[in-house]
Structure 1
Amino acid sequence: MIYREYPPHPALRAHVACLWTARVTAPMAAAAAHVHRVLPDNCVDILWQDDGRQAYAVGMMSASFTVPAARPVRTVAVRFKPGAAGLFLGMPLHPLTDTRAGLADLWGRSPAGRLDDALWTDDLSDAQRLRLIETTLLGRLAAMEAASDAARAAPLGMRAVAAIEAANGAVSVDALADTLGVSRQHLTLQFRQQVGIAPKLFARICRFRRALALLRDARRAGDLAALAAECGYFDQSHLIRDFRDFAERTPGAF
């Protein structure tokens, strides 16, 4: 599998983490099929593929999942920043958690179909396909901004995301609610609707992602207790639990 990420159009940078492409280049026997494990990353993606399947959005993940790649397929996709996908999908994000939805069901069959045809009817380059996706996203963003000030204002969920990410996930929901001047219950409800999962789980995934990044540094890999403390875990056992919950393996397996 060949995977690449690309920076978004400047007008999309507040909402889009990246655009990406992936290509499985040759068919494989079932016994030799490549299996890629996707870890939770607090993002929502939309994928378009050239194998005849309908384009679809993948919601927030509470655990990892595996993707087998046994046949050639080309993918072009967009990955939204946490909490930003709802603006482009036109729906609360919590119903998408740990599942996917066809883009035709979210955007309408005609708009989704036109983009699918534009992407795959002609022999375009990856860069050309990504520009088509960006143009569509820019159009949807402009329409939303023209209809409402909501696209310009930072809703509660997005302000909470910024605070959690600034703390690398090492913040309690109670402290976060106090900082934002709302009740824990109100914060949790709004966060689930606007971001897709509860703020406590979002913070755990932030902390796990930081630990995973640091673990790949050989200087830290040998001392899990120090790594746990650096990432805000109560102790080493809590670090190991998060790796089992989110990656289905121990830190040592990385």
Structure 2
Amino acid sequence: MHYREYRPDMALAPYVECLWAARAPASHTHRVLPDNCVDILWQDGGQPGFAVGMMSGAILVASEHPVRTLAVRFKPGMAGIFLATPLHALTDQRADIDLLWGRSAADRLADALWTSDAPERSRLAVIERELLRRLQAGAQVRAGHAALVQQALRALEGSGGELRIEVLAARLGVSRQHVAAQFREHVGLSPKLYARICRFRRAAMALKDAAAPDWAQLALDCGYFDQSHLIHDFQEFAGSAPERFHFSNRPQP
């Protein structure tokens, strides 16, 4: 399977993690893990583009026929600026982009992506131009977009998911309930679940290059109370025990 990521335009860099492209062969299945990001995907074959919300567990994606995918992955807490919908409505769901952006805009973008023989990066530039247009149109919304949530996200990411939510709320000078409500709208997950996925991703990356890991030490290094908590999170988020785990990227062809 071909998969490649590209850096976004500088004006989009505060909001977009990357643009990516993939080509999946026929009869292909892969497991996609939760990564605390929201993507919008466009695929050839006449399907409408669709947004994939925050994931609370792994999913299996299968393709019966060869599929090409072009996509954008947003940084945590930033997709709402472009989708104009509370992100909890998309959690563990997908929504056709024509329902979010309107049929006319969705069809125009799909035609621009798939009716030419332009190189992969040039097609992704079409997506960037649409995002830039929407970013400029939403300048007023962008200016006041969930500053508290961005502070909370930086704190959780900086701690590798180890920061306790009550400590986070105290630092921000608000209640746990307020933090949770803001996360629900602007992130799509509770802050506690977001932190758990941070820890899981940290452990998954550590396993990527570990030939014979010390499981107890890995659990401690990644912020788990003990090895049993590490095992529980792998079963919940990857559908696999840690010793049988194989790291996977997010593409969803």
Residue 132 of structure 1 aligns with which residue? 126
Mapping for residues 187-198 of structure 1, pairs under 5 Å: 187-198=179-190
In the alignment, does 2:106 pair up with 1:115? no
SS in 2 for 1:196: coil
The question of 1:226 aligning with 2:217 is answered yes
Equivalent residue, structure 2, for 1:177: 169
Q: TM-score by structure 2 length?
A: 0.94
Aligned match of 1:163: 155
| 8 Å Cα contact 1:57-1:100 kept in structure 2 | yes
Q: Where do residues 1-254 of structure 1 align in structure 2 (5 Å cutoff)?
A: 1-25=1-25, 27=26, 33-145=27-139, 148=140, 150-151=142-143, 154-218=146-210, 221-254=212-245
The CA deviation at 1:218 is 2.0
1:158 is displaced (CA, Å) by: 1.7
| Inter-partner Cα distance in structure 2 for 1:2 and 1:211 | 25
**Amino acid in structure 2 at the alignment position of 1:210:** R
Q: Which has the higher contact order (CA 8 A, sep 6+)?
A: 2
**One-letter identity of the residue aligned with 1:82:** P
Q: Deviations over 1:159-208 (max 9, x none)?
A: 21111000000011111100111000111011110000100000000000
Q: Structure 1: which 4+ aligned runs deviate by more than 3 Å?
A: 149-154
TM-score between the two structures when normalised by the length of structure 1: 0.93
Between the aligned partners of 1:50 and 1:224, the Cα distance in structure 2 is: 43
The root-mean-square deviation of aligned C-alpha atoms, in Å, is 1.2
Q: Secondary structure at the match of 1:83?
A: coil
Task: Give the fraction of aligned pairs with identical amino acids, expressed as a percent.
Answer: 58
Q: State the AA in 2 paired with 1:77.
A: A
Q: Which amino acid aligns with 1:178?
A: A
Runs of at least 5 residues in structure 1 that lack an aligned partner in the other structure: 28-32
Contact 1:156 1:191 in 2 (8 A): no
1:19 and 1:201 map into 2 onto residues whose CA distance is 25
The alignment of Structure 1 onto Structure 2 pairs a total of residues equal to 245
- Tell me the equivalent position of 2:250: none
SS of residue in 1 equivalent to 2:151? helix
Query: Tell me, what secondary structure is at the counterpart of 1:12?
Result: coil
Counterpart in 1 of 2:249?
Answer: none
Deviations along 1:72-93, whole A, 9 cap, x unmatched?
A: 1110000000010000001110
Please give the per-residue CA displacement for 1:75-123, whole angstroms capped at 9, x wherever unaligned: 0000000010000001110000000001000011111111011111112
Alignment partners' CA distance in 2, 1:216 and 1:72: 28
